[in-house]
Structure 1
Amino acid sequence: MKKSYFSLLIILLLGICLRLYDLGSESLWVDEVSTVKNSKLSFVDGILDPFNNHPLHGILLHFWIRLFGDSEYSVRFPSVVFGVFSIIMVFFLGRQLFDEDAGLISAFLLSVSVFNISFSQEARAYALFVLLCIFSYYCLILFLESGKRIYSIANAIASGLCIWAHPYGVFILLAQYSSVLVYALRFPRVFRINRNWLKTQVITAIICFIYIFVMFSKGDGMFSGTAWIEPPSSNDVINSFNLFTGLTYAYLFPYPADVNLLYSQTLYCFWIVLIIASLYSLFVYSKKAKECRRPTDIFNIFLLASWFFTLTIFPLLISITFKPIFFSRFLIAATPVFYMLIAHGISSIGSEKTRNLILMILLFSSLCNARIYYVNQINEDWRGVADFVDSIADENDRIVFNNCYLIDSFNYYSNNTGNNHTYCISNASDLDDDLSFVLNDPTNQRLILVW
């Protein structure tokens, strides 16, 4: 036990370092600025803001900013905390579902996942969403195994807050309810436990009702603000796979293109073999559980499968048949399941040398991926743009933006906000009229275009 906690501590230190490194170096991008702007509003106005689809994160950031300010480092730090606690929780969840080794490997994979690192370095709600999902499932499993009401209450609160963290939380609720239904049908003798669980779901219902009321009062419902999402394609599915595995950043800088191509193709093959082997180990595990009359182990597999597929397949089907809501980064709450699947496969390998070799390959590739992530300029450099414009602009100059939503990003960094006239092109079809209006304004000394 002490050895496992020491290993977890090492994994945590690695995860903390990867999430704190270079945290405030890049400018806030447009969505982060929107989050910060929303968090500076009054408590009620922030929740009712039509552009706020992640109200729980906004509420937490509202109070955080009042204590620690709104610098890049400060507003991103809560996401670091959520990301670190996710590593801890996935260890306990993996250990509860499988064994201690699977829990440690799950924590390791989550700690070095560039997908999760990147959103643990953003002033957005995704890291919080991941943490709530893991915690909710952990409490659900503890409740089903022990029947203690405290776990049911914790699960009810966490599940309800998942929706407040991200609209995809509705799929988490759907997955959990389907799992509990299967559990009730499979183990009818513990129906009393399910009745207690249903009582505590009143808490979830109240939390969800308040959220739905707030979102529909804005006009567009739960998935408001998704008009920019395009119908999904095969590239979106491939991109999601690349994000889960880290293959999005599979480069060996500064080696030539042919070396990088060989490296990325080798990693693709490695991950495909690893996934197939992990699925096979899960099949063997369920078969042994059936032979040894351990039905709860089979149920745990179903629990994970429903979590993963409900969070990935359902949005895809809805996007194809109804309204596009599928977007790769929204799937981040499915990564813990993916990593637990891989972790179980690795921990099932009999040879310790083989296990260690696989873990070393994963560590090496993840650190290489992280290096590419840190080196590349991912966000638009609004800090540099604002500094440059401030250095050349006079009070009679007009600053023209090609999109209205860019003005907030500029104003966040500009020291001369209010000294210059700003104007934005609201619609591309009105470009000629808008430019004519700006050019014919006699008060404009110069035009500075931010395009």
Structure 2
Amino acid sequence: MKRNFVPGGWREQAGAVLLIAVAVGTILRFFRLGARELSIDESVSWAESAGRSVTDVLRIQHQLDSGKFPIYEVAQHGWMRFFGESEAAMRSLPALIGSLSIVLVFILGVEVLLAVTPTRSDDRDKGGIYMVSALCALIFAVGLPSVEIARQARMYSMMQAWILAQVIFLLRARRLGGLANYAGLIIFSAIAVATNFTAVLVMAAEALWLIYLYLTDADAAGRGDEGVRSAAPWLMGAALVAAMVLLLPFFAGLRYGVEGVKRGDYDWIKPPGPWEPLATFESGLGSWPFPLFALFAIVGGIRLWRSHRDEAVLLILWIGLPPIVLFAGSYLVIPMLITRYLISSFVPLFILTAIGIESLTSRNYRAAAIVAIVSLSILRVSSDLRPGDHRYRDACAIALTKAGSPRRVGACHEYYRVSYYMPAAQRDSVQAVRIPLQGTESEAPRVVIVSPTVTPAQAAEIRREYPVVVARFKDVIVLSRPEAGVRIAPAS
């Protein structure tokens, strides 16, 4: 990673690029943060975090999303107590974590490239390492996948931060050893998996990497190679096993995930096509930026393989193994290949992309490549920053005018989104009821909000009971029972 930097000036240059990355990334994560309504999943996270106490949060989260420890939900609960329940307030916690993750990516880039200790590196080597790491941070800061999850009131931004810290300690344990690095590896491995079980995909890639290290180290030691590092792969493997042992109490909750499969909670995920793993990365990055990312990542992978083969193998496994596992699981168990389950696999892709750009021999070519990658990424991100509509807020407002007494509003699908958009001042006096009803006819609400996710059979059943169209807000419909002066909806 040698470049012609002015002696002593690489710190300022790398620092400037990192500062730009943090500034631009923070703007993208916080700009118009409350301009769109909550998604279905965000509304469930709100319901889990909105308990009156931490005990309520633990109880509600166990009912709605059992099988993991509610680290994010408890943190969101405390955050909401200070900053409120608005869309912007709830999303600001993941956005803040996402901004801090930019610095973690910089540190991770340094650890990937710092194959030797700093005392054995000259200023030119350090300049290349820190500048490439700052470029990694910049690409991560503007990349659509990292920006997208940081703008959602969900646990994925937090999980990604734990994974970044975990990989940093893994590389430090490999390079330096030391009790503190092994302890960090254990702690952050356990926290990442407890936050969301999809973090196990990264641990699986690391397990294969440790097997590779064991085999190559044994071969190098047999040849008397002095370059073999002292940290034994089996010690890092023992740290990962120790982290899983800490999580044994939570693995019992996996049975609730099995019950969710039987209930059809994951039926919305479509079976993947033969090229879906590649298409997932394309859709995650955007159709226009993807070819550039792929080209420079391949070049960067070749470059890193020649100089830091062990680290290159880790990044390649980190990119490739999670989508392969999800692809196989989609056919062997249930469909499960979606972008947010692969969110951490974009980080090594960004690192290889930065290394590929750095390998260009001309400064002008490097500058053009950086401008192209950053511009196309920001252009793709900007399409998600536009203000959205207020379908559910408007539907709840009009439904309240028809609710009558007792004040009940039915919700057919997306129950928690309807509950959230009931005016906060009236949330205690207005009851949102799930449709179809589980109670008697006398408990039926006068008005129902029908979400676009209802099946045709459910829609037909509801329209028989609620034939009056009160209002339409795009694909969200407010229906009521017949009353004078209101148009009767057609049977279809």
The question of a shared fold, defined as TM-score above 0.5 by the shorter chain, is answered with yes
Range moving further from structure 2, 428-437 or 99-108: 428-437
Partner Cα distance (1:341, 1:302) in 2: 11
Partner Cα distance (1:15, 1:213) in 2: 38
Q: CA deviation at 1:69?
A: 2.5
**What TM-score does the superposition give when structure 2 sets the normalisation length?**
0.76
Identity percentage over the alignment? 17
The residue aligned with 2:284 is: 244
| From 130, 136, 148, the counterpart of 2:178 | 148
| From 30, 33, 47, the counterpart of 1:23 | 33
Partner Cα distance (1:368, 1:323) in 2: 35
The amino acid that maps onto 1:366 is S
Partner Cα distance (1:392, 1:437) in 2: 15
The residue aligned with 2:59 is: 45
The residue aligned with 1:172 is: 202
| Cα distance change, pair 407–318 in 1 and its aligned pair in 2 (3 A) | closer
| Cα distance change, pair 237–144 in 1 and its aligned pair in 2 (3 A) | closer
Contact 1:35 1:52 in 2 (8 A): no
Q: Secondary structure at the match of 2:151?
A: coil
Contact 1:48 1:218 in 2 (8 A): no
Partner Cα distance (1:431, 1:11) in 2: 48
The amino acid that maps onto 1:282 is G
- Provide Cα deviations, 1:222-279, integer angstroms capped at 9, x if missing partner: 99943332211257446523333233xxxxxxxxxxxxxxxxxxx36xx435523441
The amino acid that maps onto 1:87 is I
Contact 2:17 2:134 in 1 (8 A): yes
Q: CA deviation at 1:64?
A: 2.3
Partner Cα distance (1:213, 1:84) in 2: 34
| From 284, 295, 302, the counterpart of 1:276 | 295
Following superposition of structure 1 onto structure 2, how do residues 89-104 of structure 1 map, counting pairs within 5 Å?
A: 89-98=104-113, 99-104=129-134
Q: Secondary structure at the match of 1:155?
A: helix
The residue aligned with 1:298 is: 309
Partner Cα distance (1:192, 1:12) in 2: 33
Partner Cα distance (2:366, 2:67) in 1: 42
Partner Cα distance (2:65, 2:250) in 1: 14
| From 361, 385, 388, the counterpart of 1:374 | 385
The amino acid that maps onto 1:138 is I
| Cα distance change, pair 369–437 in 1 and its aligned pair in 2 (3 A) | closer
| From 230, 236, 240, the counterpart of 1:197 | 236
Partner Cα distance (1:202, 1:448) in 2: 65
The residue aligned with 1:68 is: 83
The amino acid that maps onto 2:94 is S
Unaligned runs of 5+ in 1: 248-266, 290-296
Partner Cα distance (2:209, 2:369) in 1: 32
| From 24, 37, 45, the counterpart of 1:35 | 45
Q: CA deviation at 1:201?
A: 3.7
Partner Cα distance (2:63, 2:328) in 1: 29
Partner Cα distance (2:34, 2:152) in 1: 10
Contact 1:40 1:46 in 2 (8 A): no
| Cα distance change, pair 392–239 in 1 and its aligned pair in 2 (3 A) | farther
Contact 2:14 2:130 in 1 (8 A): yes
Q: CA deviation at 1:120?
A: 0.6
The residue aligned with 1:412 is: 420
Contact 1:139 1:154 in 2 (8 A): yes
Q: CA deviation at 1:9?
A: 1.3
The residue aligned with 2:400 is: 390
The amino acid that maps onto 1:408 is Y
Is 1:351 the equivalent of 2:390? no
- Provide Cα deviations, 1:343-402, integer angstroms capped at 9, x if missing partner: 11001111111111111122222232232221263x76322322333355543686444x
Partner Cα distance (2:257, 2:301) in 1: 45
Q: CA deviation at 1:43?
A: 4.0
| Cα distance change, pair 163–381 in 1 and its aligned pair in 2 (3 A) | farther
The amino acid that maps onto 2:294 is I
| Cα distance change, pair 242–283 in 1 and its aligned pair in 2 (3 A) | closer
The residue aligned with 2:154 is: 124
The residue aligned with 2:169 is: 139
The amino acid that maps onto 2:295 is I
- Provide Cα deviations, 1:59-87, integer angstroms capped at 9, x if missing partner: 32233223332221221111012211211
- Provide Cα deviations, 1:284-326, integer angstroms capped at 9, x if missing partner: 4423x3xxxxxxx111000111111112211112112332111
The residue aligned with 2:6 is: none
| From 69, 73, 78, the counterpart of 2:93 | 78
Q: CA deviation at 1:108?
A: 0.7
Contact 2:176 2:231 in 1 (8 A): no
The amino acid that maps onto 2:131 is D
- Provide Cα deviations, 1:124-143, integer angstroms capped at 9, x if missing partner: 11111221221111110000
| From 231, 248, 254, the counterpart of 2:271 | 231
**What TM-score does the superposition give when structure 1 sets the normalisation length?**
0.82
Partner Cα distance (1:315, 1:346) in 2: 30
Q: CA deviation at 1:52?
A: 5.0
The amino acid that maps onto 1:166 is N
Q: CA deviation at 1:111?
A: 0.7
| From 15, 20, 23, the counterpart of 1:13 | 23
Question: How many residues end up aligned between the 2 structures?
Answer: 418
